[in-house]
Structure 1
């Protein structure tokens, strides 16, 4: 039922209650009917089950198989390393999923523990869970509203509903019915909602909904219904693990069969095939992914982005739409005076100059701003109070008039508080030998009550039409316009009636205020566009303000300047909205389920969506979004628990930095896969082709496992520290359907692997033909050093190593040097020779080996040069 449309009498009648409340007996009866006033949580998975489910991913199952095989052939080091990787990934996944279950707990914290209701006409404090529909609840400043209620009394009642509606200002409440049926929650000003906070005044309401039937309960239901979407990386790694495992099994069977067919010892070929299987499975991949994500998360914390779910770091790189709140994210979340109409002329705030004269029009104007104002300076130096009043306080202070000093000279002696019907407030101050009243409020409410306007030459006759034109032009620029006026009295009026006091006013001026865009936001929006990302602004503000801010930040969808309001969004059928959603960049006054509608519609169109939010109302959309981003400063606990990432500075530019980091991380994971697949490809082609070319098996099982552990391991891990590519934010987002082999990675792995095999096998044939006894040592070393040359060449997909600089990734350089020294140890350290079946090489043999190993490096550099030229 639309309770906001009903009169107080109708509400009481429909709920079969009265203004004196329910009897104890009736409340107990209704408690049995409606149940406790609590948020119910679906039964979740146990912690043990949650932990076990981390090991069902195909890639993890492949690694478990690799660990078993390694153990069977006696490779203890490999076995332990793989088991550690499996457990580490399981623990990380468990922690992330366990934390994700906490959003409901945070939502429950918003509920009031107790409430005051009328039972049999007497005020009684009861547990909030015992409150039932039909109860008459009493509200006072500082209370948490215990249930949804239709107000039947409101005395200057204001409530902070930011957590529920996103509206940052306290909402003035009233009791009058509202005729329109489809009203956003924030516009139903005769309803107080469970979990919101009474900031001032007092009220009485009849409870219309409890528990899961409340607005907070509805959000709880939405939050529990929304499933988190798997990240693109998780999907890609799952497919990659499945494909690589099947390919390795087939290739190892072929190698085993080919070797036996050629007459090699069956046991040796079995060990070779098993060793190849262990080497070909990229057991370091989960570790590299985890390290890359952890390094990215650590870097992002220093840039004010806290990652709550590790895969979100990489996922940011796939984002195609960033749906951002306006207030505090794209703007400063600080109302400031932008423009004033004073001394009968309009001036920008930074051009306003105060005249020296004590009786100047400007001085009266600024004095009114400071004195007719309830904002005050806090102990930390920040102004406490209504954002609009804080803006006036700062503006007067910036021009030399401090409220605290003025109040000592002109103390407040009386006031008429603001109310939403007359849209004005008035304060009275001792002034010279009399009293002055300062009135501020809406232009349309005060303009007809003014008799003149104060200018530098004294009072002049006022032209209401002219003043209204100025106000309308300011409003068209997205400014919130406030009218400021005064009246002098011989003494304090005996009657404080607004109709009598707020008349015969002298207009001092108009103040146009706005929460201005962040300086860095425009550059961040521009960077988004160059990266193929569409920024979308979602705000609870007026459509006109939304349009102005969006325009100033260049948030547009092509030629479209369309602003869709929550009411319009409600009226658009889902299929039509999905057709239009990609052409809408600005939304105003949207409800929580509408944010969810925006996210789902974009996702249905194949878009990858990041959504920001700070209120409880945002939690379902944050959970559903591919990347949910909560505000660290203004965000509620509920929104933070539902999010994947928290902005510690509430700044849109930080999201763009995080996207850049996400793209870099995915690039580095691809580099790791490129390196590992290519080296494995080289080993597989070498062992696969040797029997068909009439050559003995070139590598022993110990050689394969050594290359897997050292040559593949150390440099591969160091690739996770690679800096970002130059064009990382100048290319469109990768498609979510893109495989890890896309953009030439698979082709590269095949042709470079074949080149490696060609170098190794041709050198093997030449060494055997020329009678070099150490041919197997040379083949082993050529393959190892070839892979080191390859890892240096693939640090960038396009950029030359010589442009990047050898020292731009010191971790990789250190890993390459260490691997080279370890390889030399297997050749030249005597006690290692029998273990690795190697023999020391002469200086000439080593030079030949190094020279052959450089071929792959040169070939890949040529490939990159060709790609740069064609691009």
Structure 2
């Protein structure tokens, strides 16, 4: 009965989990002998030149040779919400975190935008994906508190039973009892003292608990985890997609000299919203939803929420020219025919890049942008210039100069509404929440502050490079005091969980990315 109940419960869970696992690049487009060919990804070898385009999964670790507006979705590997911009330029230093290696594309990530070409430098278990798989195999599963207590109880019970049986056997001999009968009495006593039904009782109890959890949409893979949930003292959580929505959203606006959480109406605000809607390459999918780069989608959504109808504006202001975004200029420009006469050009991009092309830039503007960035926002500047005639030639030197700044928009992947309540409940239950992410430190601190994981701006955040420089002894002293880790690698997440366990903590780990897998396996509870 014990074996049957355990097998049925865990078999169902494994089947459900197997249905959720799928991340592979079955084919790759390569350049061999001067010709383009599509081959199975498993046939790639180091030195092959692979062609990348939007929507394709990167089939191996690549050193980029060309990158045309290339952006790669690396959230599963690094935890970043925004697709990473890629360039073939050499890196400024060695030993950078995966998220900062802008001239590399990694196996299992997805091309979100643009196209590129790269040479294969690693395949299979030599890739970053493979390294995570290797550490997953090396990560040891720990026994649950219930398993440890049952093991200890079994040992103590065995010693007690053997001692009592020995006393009974010796006492019988001392009374002159025949050795064989008194030996059988002692053995019978030992057999009677063993609680044979205990495993079945424990299994049935855990199965009932697992059934209740299923009703709350929690799938239990291993029955002992049911009891471990009640013993957790630390819960380590990934940020992207777990604590946050994994969807960019405009959180702040700066226009007409003020910062607002929502846009106002009239004057320069209307022109800012016009720019957000028109200077945008997001499209409409088959279902009617806006699709494209997450940042572009967020800007369109912000304009729509403010009452701006993009479709109508595109008919009134048809696009006649554009300068696509590139990583050197760090901005993009679109030119539209103005129904009032002439042409209007909107430019948006990195704050420094746009301000360098603008006129009448006041010093406080940089301070405003820095203040917004300190709140964990990704800040974009938006500017405009009007023309009587279509300028020529259509190049950055012509279009992107003497701009008039309209304002800034600040975007971030916002926390889930239910996440703050969950953090509060953890604190009330005596569970310490810890955020572990591959994202930037400023973003991690801002999200942790909004969720209540840390208080104030001065809360300590340990980054991946800082963690790598800490000795085991130094980290053991700081691990129980640190609530936020940023820019960490998968093996460092594993180190954090292991160090907490070494100090006697019962650790739960939550996360949905490939980079969370080793820590999920090592933790007492993996969610």
Same fold (TM over 0.5): yes
CA distance in 2, matches of 1:329, 1:129: 32
Equivalence map 1:654-665=2 (5 Å):
none
SS state of the match for residue 363, structure 2? helix
1:285 aligns with 2:198: yes
Return the match for 1:447 from 322, 342, 355. 355
CA distance in 1, matches of 2:423, 2:124: 41
Mark the CA change 1:553 to 1:98 in structure 2 (over 3 Å): closer, same or farther: closer
Which structure exhibits the higher relative contact order, with contacts defined as CA atoms closer than 8 Å and separated by 6 or more residues? 2
CA distance in 2, matches of 1:449, 1:213: 44
Return the match for 1:195 from 108, 118, 121. 108
The CA deviation at 1:239 is 2.3
The aligned counterpart of 2:297 is: 390
The CA deviation at 1:625 is 1.6
Mark the CA change 1:559 to 1:142 in structure 2 (over 3 Å): closer, same or farther: closer
1:551 aligns with 2:462: no
The aligned counterpart of 1:122 is: 35
- Cα distance per residue 1:766-821 (max 9 Å; x no partner): xxxxxxxxxxxxxxxxxxxxxxxxxxxxxxxxxxxxxxxxxxxxxxxxxxxxxxxx
Mark the CA change 1:563 to 1:94 in structure 2 (over 3 Å): closer, same or farther: closer
The aligned counterpart of 2:225 is: 312
The aligned counterpart of 1:158 is: 71
1:215 aligns with 2:128: yes
8 Å CA contact retained: 1:320, 1:609:
yes
The CA deviation at 1:341 is 1.4
SS state of the match for residue 221, structure 1? helix
Mark the CA change 1:309 to 1:560 in structure 2 (over 3 Å): closer, same or farther: farther
SS state of the match for residue 38, structure 2? strand
The CA deviation at 1:100 is 12
The CA deviation at 1:544 is 1.6
The CA deviation at 1:93 is 8.7
The CA deviation at 1:216 is 1.8
Return the match for 2:440 from 529, 542, 557. 542
CA distance in 2, matches of 1:146, 1:249: 61
Equivalence map 1:366-377=2 (5 Å):
366-376=273-283
CA distance in 2, matches of 1:133, 1:114: 16
The aligned counterpart of 1:401 is: 308
The CA deviation at 1:175 is 0.8
The CA deviation at 1:465 is 0.7
Task: Select the structure of larger CA radius of gyration.
Answer: 1
The aligned counterpart of 2:385 is: 487
8 Å CA contact retained: 2:242, 2:512:
no
1:578 aligns with 2:476: yes
8 Å CA contact retained: 2:68, 2:326:
no
Mark the CA change 1:282 to 1:412 in structure 2 (over 3 Å): closer, same or farther: farther
1:431 aligns with 2:351: no
The aligned counterpart of 1:300 is: 213
The aligned counterpart of 1:353 is: 264
Mark the CA change 1:163 to 1:526 in structure 2 (over 3 Å): closer, same or farther: closer
1:88 aligns with 2:1: no
Mark the CA change 1:291 to 1:411 in structure 2 (over 3 Å): closer, same or farther: farther
8 Å CA contact retained: 1:557, 1:583:
no
The CA deviation at 1:284 is 3.6
Return the match for 1:590 from 481, 484, 488. 488
SS state of the match for residue 464, structure 1? coil
The CA deviation at 1:253 is 7.7
The CA deviation at 1:490 is 2.6
- Cα distance per residue 1:731-770 (max 9 Å; x no partner): xxxxxxxxxxxxxxxxxxxxxxxxxxxxxxxxxxxxxxxx
Mark the CA change 1:393 to 1:413 in structure 2 (over 3 Å): closer, same or farther: same
The aligned counterpart of 2:363 is: 465
CA distance in 2, matches of 1:90, 1:542: 43
- Cα distance per residue 1:632-661 (max 9 Å; x no partner): xxxxxxxxxxxxxxxxxxxxxxxxxxxxxx
The aligned counterpart of 2:149 is: 236
8 Å CA contact retained: 1:96, 1:309:
no
| More deviation, 146-155/246-255 | 246-255
1:132 aligns with 2:45: yes
Which structure's residues are more often helix, by fraction?
Answer: 1
8 Å CA contact retained: 2:78, 2:439:
no
Task: Give unmatched runs, 5+ long, in structure 1.
Answer: 1-83, 452-461, 630-871
The CA deviation at 1:141 is 2.6
Mark the CA change 1:319 to 1:188 in structure 2 (over 3 Å): closer, same or farther: same
What is the RMSD of the two structures over their aligned residues, measured on CA atoms? 3.5
Mark the CA change 1:100 to 1:408 in structure 2 (over 3 Å): closer, same or farther: closer
CA distance in 2, matches of 1:140, 1:385: 14
Mark the CA change 1:518 to 1:195 in structure 2 (over 3 Å): closer, same or farther: closer
Task: Give unmatched runs, 5+ long, in structure 2.
Answer: none
- Cα distance per residue 1:458-481 (max 9 Å; x no partner): xxxx44312112111111222221
- Cα distance per residue 1:38-85 (max 9 Å; x no partner): xxxxxxxxxxxxxxxxxxxxxxxxxxxxxxxxxxxxxxxxxxxxxx33
Mark the CA change 1:524 to 1:138 in structure 2 (over 3 Å): closer, same or farther: closer
CA distance in 2, matches of 1:627, 1:186: 27
Return the match for 1:172 from 43, 63, 85. 85
Equivalence map 1:332-347=2 (5 Å):
332-347=245-260
CA distance in 2, matches of 1:521, 1:567: 28
CA distance in 1, matches of 2:158, 2:307: 74
8 Å CA contact retained: 1:166, 1:614:
no
The CA deviation at 1:89 is 5.5
CA distance in 2, matches of 1:426, 1:559: 36
CA distance in 1, matches of 2:473, 2:170: 57
CA distance in 2, matches of 1:447, 1:190: 27
The aligned counterpart of 2:421 is: 523
1:226 aligns with 2:124: no
CA distance in 2, matches of 1:411, 1:291: 68
The aligned counterpart of 1:834 is: none
- Cα distance per residue 1:575-594 (max 9 Å; x no partner): 32223222211111111111
CA distance in 2, matches of 1:424, 1:574: 44
Mark the CA change 1:494 to 1:179 in structure 2 (over 3 Å): closer, same or farther: same
Mark the CA change 1:378 to 1:98 in structure 2 (over 3 Å): closer, same or farther: closer
SS state of the match for residue 142, structure 1? coil
Return the match for 2:501 from 596, 603, 606. 603
The CA deviation at 1:145 is 2.2
Mark the CA change 1:198 to 1:334 in structure 2 (over 3 Å): closer, same or farther: closer
8 Å CA contact retained: 2:332, 2:347:
yes
Which structure's residues are more often strand, by fraction?
Answer: 2
CA distance in 2, matches of 1:371, 1:464: 26
CA distance in 2, matches of 1:609, 1:571: 24
CA distance in 2, matches of 1:280, 1:412: 86
SS state of the match for residue 315, structure 1? helix
SS state of the match for residue 157, structure 1? strand
Mark the CA change 1:347 to 1:483 in structure 2 (over 3 Å): closer, same or farther: same
